[in-house]
Chain A
C-alpha cells in the first residue's frame, strides 16, 4: 500500500527557514515525479514545486522560486522541500503527492502545517 508521510512543519519566524520531508513507501519511489502542493488556511490548492523521478529536473511556482528548493533521496525514498526567506503568506498545509503519469496526483500525504509568524 502506498504511503506518503510528511514531517518538519511548525512555527517559524518571518525570514526563517524550514525543511519539510516526505517519507514514501509501498511503491518504487525512484520511478515517479513527486510534487509539493500547499493550501493556505481556508483557501484552495496551490502547486509549489515538482521534481523528476531521477531528481535532474526541478520546477517551481513563481511564488516560491528562488526561496524554496525541492530535492529527493531515492536511496531512502524521501522527498524534501527546503524553504527559506519565509513570509506570512507561506503559511499553509504542505502536501507531498505522487505524479502517476499524466500529471495526475494519485497519492497524497496527510499534510504538514507551516506557520510563519512572529
Chain B
C-alpha cells in the first residue's frame, strides 16, 4: 500500500505569512491527489483536486502543485480563517490513502 506522509505535523504561522505543507508518497503516484481543510468538530472541506485544480469557491490564495512522490499545498497569505488541520489524500483504483495531517496554528 502507498503511504502518504505530511510535513510538518504542526506549523505555527502568522496572518499574512506564506506557508507550504508537503505530502510525500512512499512511491511515485499519479496526480490524483487532493487536499482538505478540517476545522474542529467539522467535516473535511475539499480545497484542491488532481494535485493542482482549485475547487470551486475556494479562495485563490490556496494552490497545489507537485508530481511523482512530492506534492505541496501553499497558502499565499494566511487569513484568520485558515488556521485548521490540512490533509492530503491519494486515490488509486478504489483505494484512498490520507496523510496524517498538518495542524496550522497561530504563532
Contacts and interface: CB of A to CB of B under 8 A. Distances in A.
A104 B43 contact: no
A106 interface: yes
A103 B100 contact: no
B67 interface: no
Interface in A70-111: 95, 99-100, 102-106, 108-111
Contacts, number: 67
Interface in A19-39: 33, 35, 37
Interface SS majority for chain A: strand
Nearest to B100: A44
Interface in B6-52: 32, 34, 36, 38, 43-46, 49-50
A108 B96 contact: no
A110 B43 contact: yes
Interface SS majority for chain B: strand
Interface residues of A, number: 24
Interface in B85-107: 87, 89-92, 94-101
Interface string A35-61: 101000000111100101000010100
Contacts of A95: 43-44
Contact of B46 (A106, A109, A111): A106
7 contacts: A33-B94, A44-B101, A45-B36, A59-B94, A100-B49, A102-B32, A108-B44
